[in-house]
Amino acid sequence: MTERRFAGKIESLHAPERIALLEIERVVDHCLEGITGGSTLDVGTGGGLFAKAFAQRGAQVAGVDISPEMLAAARSFLPEGDFRQAPAEALPFADDSFDLVFMGHVFHEVDDYVKALKEARRVSFNRIAILEWPYREHKHGPPLDHRLQPRQII
């Protein structure tokens, strides 16, 4: 992941229109189906929107992001979360640490997809969920040239 996209735009990540578009409640409920309580790692946590939704459903939440600015926003939004600076390719957690590893709208920013997936598998003992932007122009999310094309998705 490179720190190229959100410098100075944290407020826009919490915009009500964007929150509605992301369908956070539906996504989190789907990801946690069959998991009670447990632990969740939010990779590319950004401002902590998904992390907070996981915590509100009883999960112990940790999050990683490469941006100190984003981590500060996440800590402010969810003070009880364990937020650390790290890329998806080098997660600072022990093997089998989490029920769920969630990568929400971040995979297009990962530099090495295979390494990131191996790391997610290493720290998850139950489930990995990846949510990406559809490959079409939209005012929310990355520009089209940063989105993953269907042929790029593993």
Task: Give the domain ranges of the chain.
Answer: 10-152
Identify the DSSP state of 5.
S
Region 24-50 average pLDDT = 93
Residue 153's pLDDT is 64
Q: Which of 74, 130, 139 is nearest to 105 (CA)?
A: 130
Angle, alpha carbons 19-141-22 (nearest 5°): 25
For residue 144, pLDDT beyond 60: no
CATH architecture for the domain at 10-152: 3-Layer(aba) Sandwich (3.40)
Nearest to 133 by CA among 150, 149, 119, 147: 147
CA-based nearest residue to 40, from 29, 55, 30, 26: 55
Instruction: Give the CA count within 13 Å in the CB-facing half-sphere of 132.
Output: 18
Give yes or no for a contact between 45 and 70, defined as CB atoms under 8 angstroms apart.
Answer: yes
Among 8-12, 55-59, 117-121, which is the least confidently predicted range?
Answer: 8-12
When pLDDT is cut at 50, 70 and 90, the band that residue 139 belongs to is low
Give the mean pLDDT of 100-127. 92
Mean pLDDT along residues 121-147: 76
Burial class (CB in 10 A: 0-12, 13-18, 19+), 99: buried
- State the Cα–Cα distance between residues 17 and 111, nearest whole angstrom: 29
Report whether pLDDT(108) > 80. Answer: no
Q: Which position has the higher pLDDT, 37 or 87? A: 87
pTM (whole model) above 0.85:
no
More confident call, 137 vs 128: 128
